[in-house]
């Protein structure tokens, strides 16, 4: 009697179920929830419901802190989680920055630096993976973490200004924007230097 497709499926086997359970742990579920919150956040911003947008973004930022903490405490780190977590962060921040820039809440020059840095990082990652034939672990630097934190604070600040919850003093707001600009640029140079160092120690065969 032939086996049913369900019984022969790798996911239906004990090993497959164990692997699926390992991938769908709490940190990865939180990351997926953050990805799912992005369309809702953009919908709130496009309709001018900035209070709901602020709460949604703040909740997503909390899950960003929780998933990494839980993964470290319970040794629940996975390879797909190491990829999805920064991808969710970048997608949420970049899409929110674009919308807020179009609404004149964040200056275009800050968005430009953010986009250029992220493009350089992504293109550099794939170039190194292709030419050096190696997989680079996704490990954010201290400046990278600081730039992400400041970008999150910029979004919260911009949304708070829309809702009247941010201090009216323009000096502090502009100080935050310029500090984010500097730290983001430094982190971009740092990632570029790290990539060049990897290429220098792993020279591709085509260049030898």
Q: Which of 143, 180, 155, 160 is nearest to 38 (CA)?
A: 155
pLDDT for residue 105: 92
Report how far residue 40's alpha carbon sits from residue 55's, in angstroms, rounded to the nearest whole number. 11
Q: Which run of H or of E encompasses 154?
A: helix 142-163
Q: What is the DSSP letter of 16?
A: H
Taking only the tens place, the pLDDT of each residue in 169-207 is 788 899 999 999 999 999 999 988 887 877 777 655 544
Q: Which run of H or of E encompasses 51?
A: helix 50-73
Q: Which run of H or of E encompasses 172?
A: helix 170-201
| pTM of the predicted structure, to 2 decimals | 0.78
pLDDT for residue 192: 87
Chain centroid to CA 164: 27
pLDDT for residue 156: 92
pLDDT for residue 74: 63
Q: Which run of H or of E encompasses 112?
A: helix 108-131
Ordered domains of the chain (ranges, CATH): 5-207 (1.20.120)
Taking only the tens place, the pLDDT of each residue in 78-113 is 666 667 788 888 899 999 999 999 999 999 999 999
Taking only the tens place, the pLDDT of each residue in 7-32 is 444 444 544 444 444 456 777 788 88
pLDDT for residue 1: 47
Report the share of the chain in percent with pLDDT over 70: 71
Report how far residue 101's alpha carbon sits from residue 107's, in angstroms, rounded to the nearest whole number. 6
Banded pLDDT at 130 (limits 50, 70, 90):
confident
């Amino acid at each position: 009697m032939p086996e049913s497709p369900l019984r022969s499926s790798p996911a239906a086997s004990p090993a497959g179920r164990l692997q699926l359970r390992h991938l769908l742990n709490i940190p990865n579920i939180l990351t997926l929830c953050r990805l799912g919150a992005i369309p809702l956040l953009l919908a709130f911003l496009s309709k001018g419901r900035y209070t709901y947008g602020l709460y949604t973004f703040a909740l997503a930022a909390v899950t960003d802190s929780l998933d990494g903490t839980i993964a470290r405490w319970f040794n629940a780190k996975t390879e797909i989680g190491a990829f999805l977590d920064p991808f969710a962060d970048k997608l949420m921040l970049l899409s929110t920055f674009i919308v807020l820039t179009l609404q004149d809440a964040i200056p275009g020059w800050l968005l430009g630096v953010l986009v250029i840095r992220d493009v350089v990082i992504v293109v550099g990652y794939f170039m190194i993976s292709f030419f050096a034939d190696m997989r680079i672990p996704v490990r954010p630097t201290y400046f990278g973490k600081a730039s992400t934190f400041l970008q999150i604070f910029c979004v919260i600040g911009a949304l708070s200004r829309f809702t009247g919850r941010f201090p009216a003093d323009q000096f502090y707001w502009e100080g935050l924007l310029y500090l984010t600009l500097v730290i983001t640029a430094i982190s971009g140079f740092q990632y570029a230097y790290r990539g060049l160092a990897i290429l220098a120690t792993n020279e591709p065969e085509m260049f030898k």
